[in-house]
A and B are shown apart, each in its own frame.
Chain A
Amino acid sequence: MIVEYYRPQNLAEALALVDDPETKTVFMGGGSAIDRYKIEPFAVVDLQDLGLNTLRTKGNTLEIGATATLQAVYEQSQIQTGLKNAIYREASLNLRQVGTVAGTLVASDGRSPFATAMLALDPSITLIPGEERINLGDLLALRDKNLNSKLITKITLPLNVQLAYQYVARTPADLPIVCTAVALWPSGRTRVVLGGSGETPILAMDGPERGGAEISAAAAYSQAGDQWASAEYRQEMAQVLVKRCLSRLDR
C-alpha cells in the first residue's frame, strides 16, 4: 500500500526521494499502472511538477518528455501513423489522458502495442543522474537494474523513420494476440518487432535492409505459445503481419 506521497518541485529533490533506504520509493507518472493494492508499504514520487511533459522537435527527432501523456503524443502531428495506431490501441481515451509515455513503457508487457511500436523505432532513453542514454530494448530487458534510483527524463524518437503497425485481435479494440511493428530508415535499415506475448515485445530483426524480415519474425516467435494463442499461430501471423507492414511501407 502507498504510505507516502511526494510531489517534488525539481529533479534533484525527486532523485533524493527515491534513495530512501527505509521505504521502497518509486517514481509515478500518471499513476495508472501503480498497483495500490500491494500489501508491502511503498512511497510514490509524483513527477507532474517537474516540467517533463514537453514535446519538442529537434531536427529529425522528437524529444518526448517522460511525463507527456499518451494522448499528447497521439495528437502530435509529426509522429508516424503506425505509432498513432499503436497508441490508439494501447488504451482507451480516459486512460491515454493519464498514462505517461515513460510510465507506460516501464509498466508494459509483451502485449503492449505502444511498447511494440516504440521498440521498432529504437528510441533513446535519457536517464538521470548522469544524462545516461540507453536504448529502449536494453531498458525493457532489464528494467529493475536500469531504473534503480534512476529517472527517465525524455525519450528521443527518430521522425525520419517510417513505421507500420499491424495486429490480430479478437475485436478491433481488444489487446493484440499478435502485433508487429516494422520501422524503415532512409538508409534501408529495418527493425521488426513482435508483440502480443510474453514479458516484453521482441526484436525479431534489426538489419541494414528488409530482406529476411518475415523469416526472422517467424523464428522469433517459435516459442511464443501461451494461454492466448499457440506458438504455431503466432509464428505464421508474425509473417503475415510483417508482410503487411512492409507492404504498407511501400505505399
Chain B
Amino acid sequence: MNVNLIVNGKAHPVEISPGDTLLKVLRSLGYFGVKHGCETGECGACTVLLDTVPINACIFLAAQAEGYHLETIESVGEHPQQGWKTTSGLHPIQEAFVESGAIQCGFCTPAMILAGKELLNREPNPSEAEIREAFSGILCRCTGYIKPIQAVLRAAAALRGEEIEPFERRIPASFDFLSDDADSSTGFDRSPGEPERDEPAGEVITATRVMPRIQVTPEIESWQRVGKPERKVDAVKLVQGKPAFASDLEKRGMMVAKVLHSPVAHARIKHIDKSKALALPGVAAVLTWQDIPRVVYSTAGQSDPIPGPLDSFSLDNKVRFVGDRVAFVAAETEEIAIQALELIEVEYEPLGAVFDPGQALQPGAPILHDEPEYVNFAESDPSRNLAAEIRIDIGDVEKGFADADHIFEAEYEVPKVQQAHIEPHVSITYWDEDDRLVIYTSTQVPFHARRQLAPVLGLPIKRIRVIKPRIGGGFGGKQEILSEDVAAHLTIATGRPVIYEYTREEEFIAARSRHPMRLRMKTGVKSDGTITANAMYALSDTGAYGGHALTVTGNTGHKSMALYVGDGDYRKSPNIRFYADVVYTNNPPSGAYRGYGVPQGFWAVERHLEKIANDLKMDPIEFRTKNSVREGELQPFSTAWSEGREPQPEIIETCGLEECIRQGKAAIGWDQKHGNQGWHKVQGKPHQRRGIGVALVMQGTAIPYLDMGSASIKMNDDASFNLLVGATDLGTGSDTVLAQMAAEVLGVAMEDIIIYSSDTDFTPFDKGAYASSTTYISGGAVVRAAEGAAKRIRLRAASMLNQETDDQLVNPEDIRLVDRRAVSPDGRSIPLTEIALETLHHSDQEQIMGIGSFMSPVAPPPFAAQFVELTVDVETGQIVVEKLVMAVDSGVIVNPLTASGQVEGGMTQALGYAVSEEMVYDSQGRARETDLRDYHIFQAHEMPDLTTIFVETFEPSHPFGVKAVAEIPIDGVAPAVGNAVFDAVGVNIDNNPITPEKVWRELKVKEGKA
C-alpha cells in the first residue's frame, strides 16, 4: 500500500506493507535516530513525536501515521560548523545533554531528547518530577536517569535565558555535607498530575545532582585534562541520533537473518526438513547442523587459551535449552524470514532434562555434553555435568574454625538476571572487495571475536575484519559471541550482506545472563568479633553451556571472600576457603554480566556478616572494618587463583575503604538513624517501618599478567593527534577518558585528540571491555603511546629552540607540553602547530608518533561502602528504597561526569537485582520473562535518590593513579537492601530479589503465625 508520511516537515510518499511498523519505515527512510530496542513499546528507544505527542514507533503502524506530522531527532539540531556552512547548531537540550554527561551509550538519547523537548514546549519551567514523568516511557540501563534529568533542567534554564553554572569545578567531599538534609527523607516530589498515592509503603525522593562529591588526591592539582568533567567525545553525534550503531549500517542487497529456537529443553534433532522453507520466495538460505562444519568452540570472548571448556557449536544435532539454536534463515525481509522459520519441520527425540544444579550433579542425571568434540579445561567433567570445579584453601581453615568461639552457618541464593542492554545483540556481515569477511558488530570483544570465530567460519584470522561501532550498552552481555556467527555463516552461504538482530524475546530466551547460585557460608568468629576462618561453597548454574563458567564463579570467591581477612594474627595469615561447582543444566546459559560473579558473592558475605554482627551485638560497620583487608596487605586470593592461570602475589597499595565508610555514613545520616527507634517509625503510617543498611565491597581492576591494551598516536599538520586504540567503548565513556589521558600527556585540548577505536584492521590489539579494565589497562597504553610522541615533540622543540640562541641550551627533558605549546624552563615556547609543520614538511621530516602497550602484574582493587535507606510495609511486605549512597575509592577519577554516571547506572541495575529482577522458568524450562513488561527494570519516575562520592587514592601501578569504577557499583546494593530490611523489621531474606511475599512470609514466621 502507498502512504504519504510527513517527517520533519518533509513529505515521503512510500510504498509499505500494511503491517510495517512506523519504526521500520522511518529507519528505511534514513531516520536512524529512531532506535529498535524492543517490539512491545516498553523500552521507548523508538520514541518519535506524532503531532507533538511522544509515541513509540515500534508499536505504531506506519499506515496509522498518515495524516500526522512526525518529528524525529534529526529535526532537532545539528553540528554548528559544517565546513563553509554554519548552522543554527544544536538545540539547547542537545547542548545540555552533551555538557551534563547525560549520555552513556546514547541509544536512548534521541528518545529522551525528544521527550524532554516536548515537555519544554508545553512547560518552560518543569519540575524534576515532571521530567521524570516525561521520561517514564523511556528505559535507560546506563545512567540511572540523573544526568538526563539534570540536562533537561539546564536546558529549560537556558531557554528561559538564565545563566547556567558550568561544570568545571570539582565539588569537594565533606563528611558532613549532607547533614542538613540527612533527615529530609520524606520530600517526595509527586509527578505532574499524578494523583494522591494509593500505593505501597514509603515514598521516593527525586532530588538529584550531576557532579559527584570528590575527595581529591593532591597529585591531580596540576593536571589540565585528567580529573576534569570533559564532554564525551561521541556526545555530539549521539545527541543528533547519527547512524552510529551497528544496525544503522546500510548495505545494498542486505538480507535479514532469523534463528529457529528450540521449543524443548533437551532433545536430539532426529530429523529436520528445510525444503518448504527454502522454497518460500525470498528465502536465500536455510542452514541446519548438517550444512556447516562442526567446529567446537566457546562463545565466551576471552583471551587465549579460553579459560573454560569448549562445548558449543554454531549449530548442533542436539538442543540443550528452550531457546537453543536449531536453524538459521536468511531472507529478503524480516517477514519472509519469520514465515520461513515456521516452515522448517523438526522432529525432536526428547532427552531427560535437568534444571536443578544439585540434581544435575547426581549420578544418573541427564548428561548435557556427550559430544566427542568436547574440550576440557582444568577440572571440567562433562560426564558429571561439571563445567568447572574450584577448590581453594588459604591458610588453615579447619584450625581457624577450631579457634573460633562461635560458628555461623547459613545458605543464600541469588537468581538469574539479564543485562537488558537497550540495544539488542546485532551483527552485520559482508564480503569486502578483497574477499575478506567484515563483521560489523555490537561487541565488547572485537579482537577475541575475530580470533575465536576464525576456525568456526573456516577462515584464517587475517581474512576477518571486526569493526565495533557505538554500542547501545553491553554490561557483559556482549562479551559473548552470539550474533556474529549466525550472520557470518549466512553471508558465506549466500555471498550477500546479512544482518542478524536479536528481538527482545531472543535477548531473554537465547542470550546470556548472570549465573544463579546457591551459596553456603560458614564463618568462625571470636567473641571480640575477630573472624578466625571464613568459608564459602558456591553451587553455580552455568546452564546449557560453560562460557565464563570457571571465571565468573571464581571471581565470586576471589573478591567477596578476600575482603574480610580477620584481625590480629589472622590478618597476617587469614584462613579462607572457597569451593565451587559450576554445573551444566538445561536452563538457558549463564555468562558475563557486570560484576562478573562478585555481586553473587557479596550477597552472601554481606548478609552473613550482618547476621553475625547482630548476634554478637556488635556495630555492623565496626565488625566489618575490624576484619576488612587494609592497605599494604596481601590480596589473599592472589596467591591462590587467577582465572585459571598461574597466580602471583599482589599487595594492596591503596585502600580508601575507611574513608568511604566515613563519607557514606555522613551522607546517609547513619549515626542519626541506625539504632534510633524513633526514626524507624513513620509518622501517620503505623504499617510502615524505616530501615537503613550497609554493605562493603571490593572488586578488581583487570586480570593481572593477562589483560593487555595497546594504542598508537600520530601527530597531524595542525597538531591534532589521531589516537587509535583497540579498547572497546561500550557506552561507558572510555574513549573520552583515554583521550583525556592523551591530551594531558601532550598538553593539548580534548578537541585535538581524534580517537578511533575497535577496528581489528586499523587499531592495535586490546583484549576488550570487561573486567573493569579499560581506564587502567588501555589508559596505561595510551599514556605510553602519548609519551612516545611527546618525547619526539620535546626533542624537536628543543632543537628548534636551540637554533634561536647560542646561550643556555634547552634540555628536551625539561620541556613541558602545555596549552598546545612546548615550553622551555626559561619561558620560551613554540606552538605545537609549528613543530608539526616543521617535522612533517620543513626539515628532518618525520612522522611524530608513539605506540604503547600496557599489561599489569597487579589488579588493584577499588573499594566502596554502599548504603541504603528504605521503608517496609509490614502488612504487605512491600519495600520501597528511598535512598542509595555509594562512596567509592576508584583511585583517581579521570572524568567525574562519566565516572559518576557509571556509579549511578550501576547502582540502578543493582537495585533491580535487589528488589525486582529475576528470570523464572516453568517445569519445562520455559521462560516467564520474555519482555520488558514482566522483566521490570527501574524507570525514571520510580527511582530513589542517588548519591555518589569519590574518595580518591593514587594507585601507584598506573601513571595517573586510576583504579576501576565500572563494576563495583553493582556489588553491594542488594545486600545493603537486605540488611536495611533486617534493620527495619528484623527479618532476614536470604534469596534475592526481595519481593513483597518473601518479606511477608518472614514477618509471619517472626510473628509466629507461619
A and B together in one complex:
yes
Binding site for B on A (CB under 8 A): 1-5, 7, 30-32, 34, 36-37, 39, 43-44, 46, 48, 74-75, 81-82, 84-85, 88-89, 91-95, 97-98, 164-175, 177, 227, 229-230, 233, 236-237, 240-241, 244-245, 248
Q: Given known contacts A37-B39, A95-B56, is B338 in contact with A3 (CB within 8 Å)?
A: no
Task: State which of B459-467, B482-490, B652-660, B937-945 sits at the interface with chain A.
Answer: B937-945
The answer, yes or no, to whether B936 is at the interface (CB within 8 Å) is yes
CB pair A2 B19 closer than 8 Å: yes
Inter-subunit contact A31/B59 (CB<8 Å): yes
Q: Is the CB of B995 within 8 A of A5?
A: no
Asked if B18 and A3 make an inter-chain contact with CB atoms under 8 angstroms apart, the answer reads: yes
Proximity bits, B36-70, A CB within 8 Å = 1, else 0: 00010110100100000111100111011010000
B915 close to A227 (CB less than 8 A): no
Q: For A31, give its contact among B39, B54, B61, B195 (CB under 8 Å).
A: B61
Prevailing SS type, chain B contact patch: loop
Closest to B917 in A: A170
A98→B939 contact, CB < 8 A: no
Provide the residues of chain A in CB contact with B47, threshold 8 Å.
94
State in angstroms the CA–CA spacing of A7 and B196 once bound together: 39
A88 CB contacts on chain B under 8 angstroms: 191, 194-195
Closest residue to A46 on the B side, CB-wise? B64
Which residues on B sit within 8 Å (CB–CB) of A165?
Answer: 198
User: Which residue of B115, B136, B342, B876 is within 8 Å of A173 (Cβ)?
Assistant: B136
B895 at the binding interface (Cβ < 8 Å) = no
The A contact surface, by secondary structure, is mixed
Q: Is the CB of B920 within 8 A of A227?
A: yes
> B993 in the interface, Cβ–Cβ < 8 Å?
yes
CB within 8 A of A166: which of B41, B138, B199?
B199
Kindly name the residue among A3, A31, A167 whose own CB sees the greatest number of chain B CB atoms within 10 A. Answer: A31
Are A171 and B136 in contact, with the CB atoms below 8 A?
Answer: no
- Would you call A39 and B56 a contact (CB within 8 A)? no
Q: For residue A2, which residues in chain B have a CB less than 8 angstroms away from its CB?
A: 17-19, 61
A164 to B: closest C-beta gap in Å: 7
Cβ A169 vs Cβ B941 within 8 A: no
A95 touches B916 (CB 8 A): no
Interface string of B198-237 (1 = CB under 8 A from A): 1110001000000000000000000000000000000000
B997 touches A177 (CB 8 A): yes
Which 10 pairs from chain A and chain B are nearest by CB? A94-B137, A2-B19, A92-B137, A5-B18, A170-B916, A84-B195, A172-B942, A173-B942, A5-B63, A174-B936
Q: Are B53 and A97 in contact (CB under 8 A)?
A: yes
**B198 and A48: CB pair below 8 A?**
no
A164 touches B198 (CB 8 A): yes
* Residues in B neighbouring A172, C-beta threshold 8 A: 199-200, 204, 880, 941-942
In contact, B198 and A169 (Cβ under 8 angstroms): no
Contact with A along B106-120 (1 / 0, CB 8 A): 000000000100000
Contact across chains for B196 and A81 when beta carbons are under 8 A apart: yes
Residues of B within 8 A of A171 (CB): 880, 915-916, 936, 938, 942
Greatest chain B CB density within 10 A among A34, A164, A170, A230 is at A170
B876 adjacent to A240 (CB under 8 Å):
yes
List 12 A–B pairs whose Cβ atoms lie within 8 Å, in order of A's numbering. A2-B17, A4-B18, A31-B60, A31-B61, A85-B199, A88-B191, A93-B136, A94-B47, A97-B55, A98-B59, A169-B199, A233-B997
Collect the chain B residues with CB atoms within 8 Å of residue A177's CB: 995-997
B335 touches A1 (CB 8 A): yes
Contact partner, A237, options B41, B338, B876, Cβ 8 Å: B876
> In the docked arrangement, what's the CA distance between A94 and B18, Å?
23
B928 close to A (CB within 8 Å): yes
> Which B residues are CB-close (under 8 A) to A32?
41, 56, 59-60
**B873 cross-chain contacts in A, Cβ below 8 A:** 168
Contact assessment for B339 and A175 in the assembled complex, using a CB-CB cutoff below 8 Å: no
Does the CB pair B876–A168 fall under 8 Å?
A: yes
In chain B, positions 918-971 with a C-beta closer than 8 Å to chain A are 920, 922, 928, 933-934, 936, 938-939, 941-942
Q: Give complex CA distance A3, B295 in Å.
A: 41
Contacts of B878 in A (CB 8 A): 168-169
- The bracket for how many chain B residues form the interface is 35 or more
Most buried by B among A36, A85, A97: A36
Q: Which residues of A contact B194 (CB under 8 A)?
A: 84, 88
Once A92-B136, A175-B936 are accepted as A-B contacts, the answer to whether A37 and B916 lie under 8 Å apart by CB is no
The distance from the CB of A178 to the nearest CB of chain B, in whole angstroms, is 8
Distance between B412 CB and nearest chain A CB, rounded to angstroms: 19
In the complex the two chains form, what is the Cα distance from A7 to B1000 in whole Å?
Answer: 51
B29 CB to nearest A CB, Å: 18
The reply to whether B338 and A5 contact each other, CB–CB distance below 8 Å, is no
Chain B residues whose CB sits within 8 angstroms of the CB of A37 once the complex forms: 39, 338
Q: Which B residues between 101 and 143 are near A, CB-CB below 8 angstroms?
A: 115, 133-134, 136-138
CA distance A240 to B1003 in the complex (A): 15
Residues of A within 8 A of B678 (CB): none
Q: Report the bound CA distance from A4 to B915 in whole Å.
A: 44
A93 touches B134 (CB 8 A): yes
| Given A5-B19, A36-B21, A167-B200, 4 extra CB contacts under 8 A | A34-B59, A167-B198, A171-B942, A173-B941
Which residues of B lie under 8 Å from residue A48 when comparing CB positions?
A: 64
B residues near A93, Cβ cutoff 8 Å = 54, 115, 133-134, 136-137
CA of A30 to CA of B60, assembled, Å: 8
Q: Give B204's nearest chain A residue, CB to CB.
A: A172
Least CB distance from B907 to A in Å reads: 14
Known contacts A39-B339, A81-B196, A229-B997: does B44 contact A3 (CB below 8 Å)? no
* CB of B161 to closest CB in A, whole Å: 28
CB-based contact A39/B18 at 8 Å: no
Nearest opposing residue in chain A for B928, CB measure: A227
Q: Shortest Cβ distance from B345 into chain A, in angstroms? A: 15
B751 within 8 A of A: no
Residues of A within 8 A of B44 (CB): 92, 94
Would B936 and A1 count as touching, CB distance under 8 A? Answer: no
Shortest distance from the beta carbon of A80 to any chain B beta carbon, whole Å: 9
Expressed in whole angstroms, the Cα–Cα distance for A98 and B57 within the complex equals 10
- Shortest Cβ gap from B333 to chain A (Å): 11
Beyond A5-B18, A170-B993, whether A31 also contacts B64 by CB under 8 A is yes
Given A177-B996, A227-B928, A94 contacting B195 (CB threshold 8 A) = no
Q: Is the CB of B137 within 8 A of A166?
A: no
Return the contact of A167 from the options B55, B191, B199, B995 (Cβ within 8 A). Answer: B199
Residues in B with CB closer than 8 Å to A81 are 195-196, 198
Shortest Cβ gap from B463 to chain A (Å):
37
Are B200 and A168 interface neighbours, CB within 8 A?
yes
The answer to the question of B363 belonging to the interface, with a C-beta cut-off of 8 Å to chain A, is: no
User: Which partner residue on chain A sits nearest B196 by CB separation?
Assistant: A81
What residues of B have a CB within 8 angstroms of the CB of A244 in the complex?
Answer: 198
Residues of B within 8 A of A39 (CB): 338-339, 342
**Are B920's CB and A174's CB within 8 A?**
no
CA distance A48 to B61 in the complex (A): 12
List the A side residues contacting B204 at CB < 8 Å.
172
- The answer for the CA separation of A240 and B191 in the assembled complex, in Å, is 26
Closest to B3 in A: A5
Instruction: Give Cα A129–Cα B115 distance, bound, in whole angstroms.
Output: 40
Which residue of chain A is the closest to B48 with respect to CB atoms?
A94
Separation of A169 and B66 alpha carbons in the complex (Å): 39
Closest CB of chain A to B165's CB: distance in Å?
30
B806 smallest CB distance to A (angstroms): 74
**B875 CB-CB contact with A under 8 Å:** yes
- For residue A50, give the distance in angstroms from its CB to the closest CB of chain B: 14
By the criterion CB–CB under 8 Å, are A169 and B195 in contact? Answer: no
Q: Which residues in window 955-1003 of B have CB below 8 A to A?
A: 993, 995-997, 1000-1001
The B737-791 residues at the A interface (CB cut-off 8 A) are none
Within the assembled complex, what's the spacing in Å between the Cα atoms of A229 and B999? 12
CB proximity of B873 to chain A, nearest CB, Å:
8
Q: Which chain B residues (666-696) contact chain A, with CB distance < 8 Å?
A: none
Instruction: Report whether A74 and B193 are in contact in the complex, using a CB–CB cutoff of 8 Å.
Output: yes
Q: List the A side residues contacting B11 at CB < 8 Å.
A: none
Q: How far is the CA of A171 from the CA of B18 in the complex (A)?
A: 38
Q: Residues of A contacting B138 with CB < 8 Å? A: 94
